[in-house]
Amino acid sequence: MSLSRRRFLQMMGASAAATAMTPTVLTRVAEAVQASGAWYPVVWLQGQSDTGCSESLLNTLAPNVVDLVTEIVDLKFHQTVMAAQGHLAISVLDDLLASEEKFLLVVEGAVPTAHGGAYSTMGERDGKKVTFLQWVQDLGARAEAVVAFGTCSAFGGIPAAEGNVTGASPVTDVLPEQKVIRLPSCPGRPHHLVGTLAHLKLYGMPELDELRRPKMFFSLTNHDNCERRPFFERGDYAHHFGEHKCMYLLGCKGPITHNDCSQHQWNSRVNWPVRGGSPCVGCAHPLFGGPRGNALYEQLPEIQVPGFAGLEAKADKAAIVLAGAAAAGIAAHAVGRAVTKNKKES
Ligand code: SF4
Ligand code: F3S
């Protein structure tokens, strides 16, 4: 069954929240993938992470994990779920590298680069441990495309927070950037991965933004479609957790965080952080964790806030701890633009 790219993007995209990633949509995508013929196998490597991205993917209901690995993705290697162990498991990768077979590489977790990558190793070659860094570089060089799944892999995330003795780095630091697609979120979002792999299969490289994120998932911020947006526009803000109002003053990063949580939600559309009473802490933002830090519940700096006198409320003290004024300016500008744009549209 063929599926036009236009329809595919409608189903995946933020504009189709009502239909996105339901079992019906997934069935349609799976049929289109199967009908399009041979599918590149997927190699999944996990580095410096808490396995949250794997769990996020494996816990998903739409698609469920069986459909995922049998009908949508040909999963050739995955440290956590594969039955093979030891040399038998590693031989899958060695054989792949020795062959001409095409494949896609998914990387979960940051890449430890300090001390030659010694902080994470997997298997041996000629009696020597092989670092995760080496695997990413070897397999990444051969892969048709590389998907950095989750914020640690995409931007460094929490492993790259200040201190970072392992030299935790995003995949783009150790591979030619043009191959890498970033899918940030902590953890990574299942429909982002399935949608990206399906797009690669059906139509080739998806359209990416300036940070190499697929536009079909990352064009809007969580603030753009937040269910508490009417409170924001009225200047009606929560001052304490538990108040059912806009959580901007409680540090919500929704205005600068490009993601589709406010539309597609989580756990098969059951809930998302704001509905659960938490500000968006910006887990998909490049500054989440990271060397410059990102204070979870501190207010964003320099944002126009409706309902406040002068409409130019400056955050008391810079909320996100940024490296310098330039970075603060970028963040503030991004927020200001989003707010200004939305005010014009409303
Ligand atoms: Fe929603 Fe946060 Fe925006 Fe308020 S600031 S409308 S809680 S995303
Ligand atoms: Fe992360 Fe914010 Fe979504 S914290 S899960 S990007 S609502």
Residue 261 CA, ligand 2 centroid: distance in Å: 6
Atom of ligand 1 at shortest distance to CA of 253?
2
Residue 294: per-residue pLDDT: 59
- Residue 293 gets the label, from left (phi > 0), alpha (psi -120 to 50) or beta, of left
Q: Is the CB of 284 under 6 A from ligand 2?
A: yes
Tallying the residues shown for the chain, one arrives at: 346
Q: Is the CB of 263 under 6 A from ligand 2?
A: no
Residue 1: per-residue pLDDT: 55
CA 308 to chain centre: 34
Ligand approaching nearest to the C-alpha of 227: 1
Atom of ligand 2 at shortest distance to CA of 222?
7
Q: Is the CB of 21 under 6 A from ligand 2?
A: no
Residue 296 CA, ligand 1 centroid: distance in Å: 14
CB 285 within 8 A of CB 42: no
Q: How far apart are CA 202 and CA 103, in angstroms?
A: 15
Residue 334: per-residue pLDDT: 38
Residue 328: per-residue pLDDT: 37
The binding-site residues of ligand 1, defined as CB within 6 angstroms of any ligand atom, are 222-223, 226, 228-229, 232, 246-248, 252, 254-255, 274, 279-280
Q: Is the CB of 222 under 6 A from ligand 2?
A: yes
Residue 277 CA, ligand 2 centroid: distance in Å: 12
Atom of ligand 2 at shortest distance to CA of 284?
6
Q: Is the CB of 256 under 6 A from ligand 2?
A: no
pLDDT mean by block of 10 residues, the chain; 346 residues: 69 51 64 70 94 85 67 83 90 95 95 97 93 97 96 95 94 90 95 88 92 95 96 94 95 94 86 96 89 71 52 36 34 36 34
SS (H, E, C) the chain: CCCCHHHHHHHHCHHHCCCCCCHHHHHHHHHHHHHCCCCCCEEEEECECCCHHHHHHHCCCCCCHHHHHHHHCCEEEECCCCCCCHHHHHHHHHHHHHCCCCCEEEEECEEECHHHHCCCEEEEECCEEEEHHHHHHHHHHHCCEEEEECHHHHHCCHHHCCCCCCCEECHHHCCCHHHEEEECCCCCCHHHHHHHHHHHHHHCCCCECCCCCEHHHHCCEHHHHCCCHHHHHHCCECCCCCCCCECHHHCCCHHHCECCHHHHCECCCCECCCCCCCCCCCCCCCCCCCCCCCCCCCCCCCECCCCCHHHCECCCCCCCCCCCHHHHHHHHHHHHHHHHHHHHHC
Atom of ligand 1 at shortest distance to CA of 280?
2
Ligand approaching nearest to the C-alpha of 244: 1
Q: Is the CB of 217 under 6 A from ligand 2?
A: no
Atom of ligand 2 at shortest distance to CA of 186?
1
Q: Is the CB of 280 under 6 A from ligand 2?
A: yes
Which residues does 323 contact at the CB level (< 8 Å), separation at least 6?
Answer: 291, 292
* Look-up of token digits 């009417």: 230
Residue type, 288: F
* Look-up of token digits 């997934």: 26
Atom of ligand 1 at shortest distance to CA of 229?
6
Ligand 2 pocket: which of 220, 250, 259 to mutate (most atoms within 8 A of CB): 259
Residue 246 CA, ligand 1 centroid: distance in Å: 5
- Identify the residue whose C-alpha is closest to ligand 1 atom 5: 248
Residue 134 CA, ligand 1 centroid: distance in Å: 41
